[in-house]
Amino acid sequence: MLERKRLKGRTQVTFVLPDNAPDGPVSVVGDFNHWNPAAHPMASRGDGTRAASVALPTNSAYSFRYLAVGGHWFDDEQADSHDGTNSRLHT
């Protein structure tokens, strides 16, 4: 799930997943962080979810995926769109 908050000239996007599905650490990777798994690890929020946030320029589009333990890549089913390989986010 994606949560958005408009900031001056930017959009703060929070990527949200259940805290235990999948088990183990998960990172958000995408063209906004050069597909670097260390850039945006997801952290538990104490409400049964985990999240990572990033501020991005408004009126832009980005590809992203989630990377879990063991090299397990997966998409966000609730993303704005999908391009066949990646989830897509529109700010």
Amino acid at 79: A
Query: What's phi and psi for 80, nearest 5 deg?
Result: -60, -35
Q: Hey, which bits of 1-91 come out as E strands?
A: 2-7, 10-18, 26-30, 43-44, 49-57, 61-68, 72-74, 81-82, 87-90
pLDDT of 84 strictly over 90: no
Q: For residue range 7-24, what is the model confidence (pLDDT) as tens digits? A: 998 999 999 999 988 999
> Taking the model in full, what pTM does it have?
0.92
Q: For residue range 22-58, what is the model confidence (pLDDT) as tens digits? A: 999 999 999 999 999 999 999 999 999 999 999 999 9
- Ordered structural domains, the chain, with CATH: 2-90 (2.60.40.10)
Residue 25, both tokens: 């650490």
